[in-house]
Structure 1
């Protein structure tokens, strides 16, 4: 359970994350070539969903990059990558609806989202400290080294909790997106199959991150018992 075990977990995590990213890119590439019959752009889609849910205060803005789409709860703004903001593909519309789903979560006080926001400041600190404590523990002999590894494990709990609580936030946003796209007539049920494909692939990236975090925590737990 020494440093070699840590490297092994890191490699496994990289493989899982790489496969998840590959799935997202392939699914997005496929459905970004399929225009939606409604002809609505991602920006128009997000705006329609927001207005239908009484969220006229939430802005929709373009942002540079590819798949850089996100919802900023502090600024109350949905930022869509330029291709999704201006384009009217099934993939772009699906991503826009997903981010609008986060805005709706924020508005209704969806508990997992509030919990994630609450633990983020703690995670931001612990994610920087636990590797340092772990490295010092690995190269420090005796009980003090074990204490440092135990400290790393405790600090990593925050990271693990963040990834675990992120899962229901993302899955719920995707479920909301699918429902609103079909309910509001933005996509037909047939077209929404593309939505499922894109958003399922995206959800797997969060599952991969959570799984990697679980493996790392188990490794730290076993290492602290040496």
Structure 2
């Protein structure tokens, strides 16, 4: 059971006890917010998978693998200190700025599909963002520790607030609620970073002739579907923050 589950468990049982003393039962409608986020995220994830599968079957006219596409775009931008490696898995592609390595998954590295070219170019888009000093990605990197701490600190303080009584209870709850803002802020900054990386990718694929006009439109569909998962992540974090406010802000014993 994770910290979120523990916080929900305590909130429900403390609330049920309080309501039971008054002699009535009340459905926690804020779970609807969780459900909305879950459904939206599921739809977006399904869309990514289906779109990728569709265009993973379409071979590019250039017949270049994802690894070759990545290498070509790196060299075209004068970047020679970044390696392109192969990692296991599907859609586990990512750029690690600490090691200067672009990791391409099984579904991308050796594939000559339109989908693979789009994903590979997207990861190089992140490389270019770092090398050109793209401000939003600097902000995101700065926020990462805050988001990581906020995720755990939020529910730790909420759990403490539910276990204690009096003024200290509300203090802990307030700290927990606003610690979660770090998570929302991270998702808010991540969205434009991902959209910009995709825009750079599509522009480069077209301008360098790696993909034709029709292929570029197909790659755009893949990257647009992927971008929606970040929209879903932001929406889910925002809904969870609203739920925390509704449940625990100005809570009375």
1:20 to 27, 44, 48: 44
* Aligned residues between the structures: 226
Match of 2:244 in 1: 220
Match of 2:24 in 1: none
Matched, 1:174 2:202: no
Taking the aligned partners of 2:78 and 2:96, their CA distance within structure 1 comes to: 17
- Mark the runs of 5 or more structure 1 residues left unpaired by the alignment: none
Cα deviation, 1:98-134, whole Å, max 9, x if unaligned, reads: 0000000010011110111111112212211111222
- Mark the runs of 5 or more structure 2 residues left unpaired by the alignment: 1-7, 13-27
1:196 to 194, 197, 220: 220
Matched, 1:69 2:109: no
Shift, 1:55, TM fit:
0.7
User: Could you state the TM-score of these two structures normalised by the residue count of structure 1?
Assistant: 0.94
The two structures, once aligned, show a CA RMSD in angstroms of 1.7
Taking the aligned partners of 2:50 and 2:176, their CA distance within structure 1 comes to: 36
Taking the aligned partners of 1:57 and 1:207, their CA distance within structure 2 comes to: 32
Match of 2:137 in 1: 113
CA radius of gyration, larger in: 2
Q: SS of the counterpart of 2:95?
A: strand
Farther off after superposition, 97-106 or 142-151: 142-151
Taking the aligned partners of 2:153 and 2:31, their CA distance within structure 1 comes to: 18
Taking the aligned partners of 1:11 and 1:225, their CA distance within structure 2 comes to: 24
